[in-house]
Structure formats: C-alpha cells, structure tokens
Structure 1
C-alpha cells in the first residue's frame, strides 16, 4: 500500500513545522507528501519549502495565490495525490494536526486485518483525535454508523474498531480508488461541513472505520466543539448544511431527516451559549438565503486562477465532472 499524505496550511507556521516533523518521523514512512499552502502571509510556504527539501522528489508544495479555504485546499491536494496512479491511500490533515509516531502504521495494520475478514471494501479510516492534554477532542469525536448491520459491527469489532458514516479531515485516510470513482470535496464549501459531506459521499455503499490505535493531536487554541460561539463562521455552518441536505447525494433521505433534526438542536445550543446573538442571527439569515437560493459552484470553477499547477488542474477538471 502506497500512502500520500496531504496537509493543508494557512498562517500557522510553527504548527506546520511541528506537523511536518511528525510526518517525517512516522514509524511506517509516508510514501509521498503534498503540502497545500492557502496563500499564507506568515512565511508558512517558505517554512514548508525548507522542511520539504530532504523529502526530495517524494514531496510537493502547492503554493496557491488565493485562500480557497480548507475545502479548496483539500480538493487541490487530493487531486495531486490521486493523479499518481500508484497511490492507494490519501492521508489528509490540517496544519494544526500532529500525528503520533505510529498513526500511519496502525491504520494500515487495521486495513490489512479488516480485509482478511471478508471483502476489501474499506473506503475511509479515521484516527483517534486528542487535544494537548491527551483527552479526546470534542470537535472530532466520531459517531457510530446509524443502522449499521450486525455483520458490519462484528467486522469492525473484530479488528478493534467502530463502523462510521462520516469523519473529519483531522487525520482521515481516503481510499484513492474510491476518490477516483466519486470525485473531490466540493471546494465552494470553503470551510465547515466539507469533510462531513465528502466522507459521507465516499462511504455511501462502502465501509468506514474509526481506528483508535491511530492517534493524532489536534492543537486547537482550546479544547471545545466547533459550535461553541463560532462567530462569523456560523454563516458557513448554515449555508453548507443546507447544501448537504438539499444538494448532496452523500446521505439517504432518512439520514437527512435525522441529521437535520440534530442540526436544529445544535444550532439552538449555539445560540443559547453565544455572547453575540446578533451576529449569529445575521449569519443565520445570510446562510439560510444562500443555502436555498444558490448551489455550490463546480470545484473546477472555484479552483481556476488560484495558483493550482496545470497538471493538478487537469486532474481537478476530470474529477470535478463526477460531482452531483
């Protein structure tokens, strides 16, 4: 199995250095590395270029001229990864993610054991995400797949894992063959819910596992969930959730109903905990309007003229046509 790691960076130079050092120290080495810099202005791209020198031809830096958000950065990076025909897994993460030394080795070992229990239909794996104190990070806590069959639960338990329906991009392993089949993350999401929509799309009709032995540290400023006073980013939460429920083929109809109800409860908690409810109301209004009146633009349109290299853009164009 050949693994390409994709790391998306934006204005967190010191954390980026730490993340790249952790990737270089994996007990099972990464085969290739793609770093996508989202037009940082703090020297992140220069720091990445310096640290990637010892990787030689195994590493590539994509220096974008426009900040395309996490969604655009991952779309470009994943396209660059799967353009290499021998890539089997794409390991994605943000620049504030620091993988433990055995994060990759543990994930690949689980895949091997899981394939031995039956059909090799594993499409996604997700790491255990902890905060700096070693406790599970509430922002990235996986949830068991709703209505997983007894066979699915038994196969996952046999390898010490849990069957999942979606996962965050904070250390997710994506099967390259599945990416080539269903396309890229939708870049127009910019941030929030792009990983939820994309991983759910990858996992519709396929298997996914939470792998607790693969551990990474998510070095956010504080240990909390994303719904704790999100500020102006709440706009993307509202708009993108509506796009997931109305425009995406990732979820079944009954799943959309359940997730919509859970989303409504989450938004209520967010409002009750907020110190600036006027701002949240404005985000809700604008996000609601755009979520109903607009559709996300094709990823190939979003990434044009953003500094994506020509050869990667060719792959983006091809995979973007699979979006629906």
Structure 2
C-alpha cells in the first residue's frame, strides 16, 4: 500500500507556534512526503520565514485571509493537484504532532483500509484531553475515556491531526471555503463518514497548544469572540440539514436549549449574544454553499 502523506498546515500570524509545528512535522518517525503550509495572508515576518525554508515545504500564500475553512480548502486542493500522495494530514499551526503520530495513524490505516477519516487523540499542554477536540462517538451518550486503547468509530472530528485518503477527497470534494470559520471540519468529516466510517485512533496523540483548555461557549466567551458565533450557528444550520432525522432534530433541540440558557441567564451582553445567535440561525436556513472539487493532477 502506498503510504505517502502530504501534511497540510494552515497558519495565520503565529510565527513562533508555526516554527514549532513545522519542526514537529519534520521529526516524524515515518517522514511526510510534503509539508504544505497555507498562509492566510500573514504579516511579512511569517512570509519571510516560510520563503527562507525553500524546498523544505510547499508554500501556498493566500492574498487574503480566507479563514481556516478557506485555508484547508486551498491546502487539500494543492495536495490533489500537485502531489501523488495517498493521504492528506490536516492541522492548524498550534497542532504539535508527536514523533510517532503519523506512524500510528498509518499503522491503523494499513489494518483497516476502508475508512473515511482517522482522527488523533488531541491533548492540551497538561496532557488531558483538549476540550475543543473531544472525540464524538456514534453513541453521543458515551464519553471516550482518556485511557482508551482501542480505536472507536466517530460521527465527526476536527482538523487537528486528521488523516484522509486521496480517493475519499476525490469522491466528496474539498472543505467549504464559505464556512470561513467554525464547523468546516465537522461538515467535512460527516461528508466523508457518509462514504466510509471515520475512526478515533487513541495511539496517535498530538498536543493542541491553545491558550486555555476550554470549549467554545457563546454564553461565556468574551466580547472579542462573540461576533464569530454568527458563523457557528449559520454553518451548523447547513450541515445539520444533511443528517438523518434523529441527529438533525437532536441538534436543533440542543441549539434551542442553548438559546434559552442564554436568555434566562445573567450573562453580560445578553442582547448582543442573542442577536448574533438569531442572525446565524436565520442565515443557516438558506445557507447552501457550493462544494468544490479539485482538478486532476497535471502531468509534468
């Protein structure tokens, strides 16, 4: 089995973190074939550093910030159109892979073969699970313990060390640029999961170097992040429509519960938060972005 891998790393103005992430990719026990760095129009210091790496990386610089979603769209497109690698490995610039992460993902890939995606066990800097990247098993009443050893089938996963086969990308297309931020990974892995099952691989650990280990919460988040939740609720409106009847209505009830939790709370800026949520939910009813597909790789 051809186990060549392109790593796609999306970055925006976090140079020191980016340097560490690239170094971690270069230190894999099983080497990656290509390191594709998608730069979302960062400042010149990032540009100059990435250009200085020469042929150590494939540098894809965007003219404007397309958000994480647009960055992953461009990165997966580059993988499909400019490499022959069998797998694409997706991550942000604050994802620190361990030396054996890729080795363990590929070991499972070689055993299982039929899968839509493989997701790592994402830990925070203290070694506990990163709350932003909790694995989502098929039975959402079940919580995957931190000492899990055996792989588990998932409903979806995040773009924090996610492995996808070329043939799956060819069937389902690219991540949706119009998502901008939030939910692009959930939508994409659920799209892949409709072709073949996705799995959590607990031996393939990575460290997610977020500033704090918290999940996303419109109720508790600060004023600078509140406007971003528009994308969360708009995008959710789209991908929830693709689910089966039970999961679709369960998600809608959860969103309704979030609305009333905020409405009945004593949170600061309550009116602003409810307005952002309602605006996103309304937009999500008609949000219907186009799914793009990569062109065939050009012959040299």
Same fold (TM over 0.5): yes
CA shift for structure 1 position 84: 4.2
Question: Which whole-Å CA distance do the structure 1 matches of 2:33 and 2:19 have between them?
Answer: 19
Partner in structure 1 of residue 139 of structure 2: 146
Q: Report the equivalent of 1:12.
A: 14
Distance 1:122 1:244 in 2: 20
Distance 1:273 1:264 in 2: 18
Which protein is richer in helix relative to its size? 1
Aligned: 1:290 with 2:283: yes
Q: Aligned equivalents of 2:261 and 2:118: distance in 1?
A: 29
Task: Please point out which of 14, 31, 49 is paired with 2:33.
Answer: 31
Q: Is the 8 A contact 1:138 1:224 kept in 2?
A: yes
SS of 2:32 mapped into structure 1: coil
User: Can you give the 5+ residue segments of structure 2 that lack an aligned partner in the other structure?
Assistant: 141-147
Change (3 A) 1:93 1:288: same
Distance (Å, rounded) in 2 between the aligned partners of 1:131 and 1:269: 28
CA distance in structure 2 between the partners assigned to 1:318 and 1:108 by the alignment: 25
Superposition map of 1:114-153 within 5 A? 114=112, 120-146=113-139
**In structure 1, what is the equivalent of residue 158 of structure 2?**
168
Match of 1:211? Answer: 201
Bigger shift: 252-261 or 101-110? Answer: 252-261
Q: Is the 2:262–2:274 contact (alpha carbons within 8 Å) kept by the matching residues of 1?
A: no
Q: Supply the RMSD in Å over aligned alpha carbons.
A: 2.3
1:279 & 1:4 partners in 2: Cα distance? 42
User: Partner of 1:40: helix, strand, or coil?
Assistant: coil
Q: Secondary structure at the match of 1:83?
A: helix
If the length of structure 1 is used for normalisation, what is the TM-score?
0.80
Q: How do residues 41-120 of structure 1 correspond to structure 2 at under 5 angstroms?
A: 41=43, 43-50=45-52, 52-53=53-54, 55=56, 59-84=57-82, 86-114=84-112, 120=113
Alignment CA distance shift 1:273-1:189 (3 Å): farther
CA contact (8 A) 1:188 1:299 kept: no
Matched, 1:260 2:261: no
> Could you tell me how far 1:174 is from its partner in structure 2?
1.0
Q: Deviations over 1:94-148 (max 9, x none)?
A: 011111111101110111222xxxxx3112000011111111111001021139x
**Structure 1 counterpart of 2:227:** 232
What TM-score, normalized by structure 2, do the two folds share?
0.86
Q: 269, 279, 283: which is aligned to 2:272? A: 279
Measured in 2, the distance between the counterparts of 1:125 and 1:207 equals 9
SS in 1 for 2:178: helix
Give structure 1 stretches of 5+ with no counterpart. 115-119, 148-156, 301-314, 320-324
Q: 1:212 to 1:267 in 2, by over 3 A?
A: farther
